[in-house]
Amino acid sequence: MADPAVHVFNDRLYIYPSHDWESGIPENDNGDHFNMKDYHVFSTDDPMKGEIVDHGLVLTTEDIPWAGRQLWDCDVAEKDGKYYMYFPLKDQNDIFRIGVAISDRPEGPFIPQPDPMRGSYSIDPAVLNDGDGNYYMYFGGLWGGQLQRYRDNKALESGATFPADNEPSIPARVARLSADMLQFAEEPKAIVILDENGQPLTAGDNERRFFEASWMHKYNGKYYFSYSTGDTHRLCYAVGDNPYGPFTYQGVILTPVVGWTTHHSIVEYRSKWYLFHHDSVPSGGRTWLRSLKVCELEYDADGKIVTIEGLD
């Protein structure tokens, strides 16, 4: 399992990972080897030492009418007693879109909507419940995640375009969700990450710029946007005053792990903070066969996250 999205529902931790398997597809920069086709849900009341319950198969591509291939990182949000699973999946034209599936229970099974979200694109949806009735989706991913194919929420006629190294990097996106949780309530906006001089991170700043795997959590009233730097294999974060940003770069949460991808979620449970992530140690480094990990996460007195060593 990989790409854990973790939330507390009814005082229990629910883990929504991707489900890796050995499909035999050769590895390439488009991530074709991540050929996942279903999800399981897990739960526990003690992430470090407790029993982890596997709630079984909760959604498969066979149930999704518009499915092409590659069910990547999902997330789940609760509203008014219903649970909404957001998942990226390539449609039958091999374009990533984001779909929604609904359940009455956090452990599923989830019933998919007949069509993807209108205007959705790219991968890795992560949803913040801001606690005031508003829910925000953060999404996007470069290379195989296709984010480089879009500008201003429109597909580029020229196909993929990457900025020059000294230009602002391609940003993640955020959009508030509609009251029924099924669509964007507004045009997605760019997540701007500023450096220590108040300038947007540049495309050439590979060790700090956004690549994929958005996550958002709140700590002491601040908004912590965290993400993977992809080809430099770090989990980094930036802090802002509101769900849209801008966010100012703060540092590294997790140094590189075994395996190409790095992906995470951060959650508070029973007064402790946890980092969930994955690596490819149990599969002997096969980057498409990942396993979940969890450790405690600490903040210093200034609210900075203490960096965790990925190879520990």
Q: To 5 degrees, how large is the angle CA 308–CA 268–CA 263? A: 45
Q: How far is the CB of 117 from ligand FUB (least distance, A)?
A: 17
DSSP designation for 160: -
Q: Is 51 an active-site residue?
A: no
Q: Is 3 an active-site residue?
A: yes
Residue 7 or 263: the one with the smaller Cβ distance to ligand FUB is: 263
Cα(137)–Cα(77) distance, rounded to whole angstroms?
A: 10
Span 112-131, contacts to ligand FUB by CB under 6 A: 123-124
Q: How far is the CB of 211 from ligand FUB (least distance, A)?
A: 9
Residue 75 binds ligand FUB (CB under 6 A):
no
Q: To 5 degrees, how large is the angle CA 65–CA 145–CA 224? A: 110
Residue 178 or 291: the one with the smaller Cβ distance to ligand FUB is: 291
Residue 140 or 188: the one with the smaller Cβ distance to ligand FUB is: 140
Burial track 84-114 (b if 16+ CB lie within 10 A, e otherwise): bbbbbbbbeeeebbbbbbebebbbbbbebbe
Nearest one of 164, 87, 162 to 126, comparing CA atoms:
87
CB atoms within 10 A of CB 282: 13
Q: How far is the CB of 261 from ligand FUB (least distance, A)?
A: 4
* Identified catalytic residue from 3, 75, 107, 205: 3
The phi and psi torsions of 166 (rounded to 5 degrees) equal: -90, 5
Q: How far is the CB of 123 from ligand FUB (least distance, A)?
A: 5
Cα(160)–Cα(141) distance, rounded to whole angstroms?
A: 13
Residue 263 binds ligand FUB (CB under 6 A):
yes
Q: To 5 degrees, how large is the angle CA 39–CA 116–CA 91? A: 75
Cα(77)–Cα(7) distance, rounded to whole angstroms?
A: 8
* Identified catalytic residue from 75, 78, 212, 279: 212
Residue 109 or 141: the one with the smaller Cβ distance to ligand FUB is: 141
Q: Binding ligand FUB by CB under 6 A: which of 261, 265, 280, 287?
A: 261
Residue 212 binds ligand FUB (CB under 6 A):
yes
End-to-end, the C-alpha distance of the chain in Å comes to 19
Count of residues in contact with ligand FUB, rule CB under 6 A: 14
Residues that bind ligand FUB (CB under 6 A): 2-3, 18, 31, 34, 72-73, 123-124, 141, 212-213, 261, 263
Catalytic residue positions? Answer: 3, 212
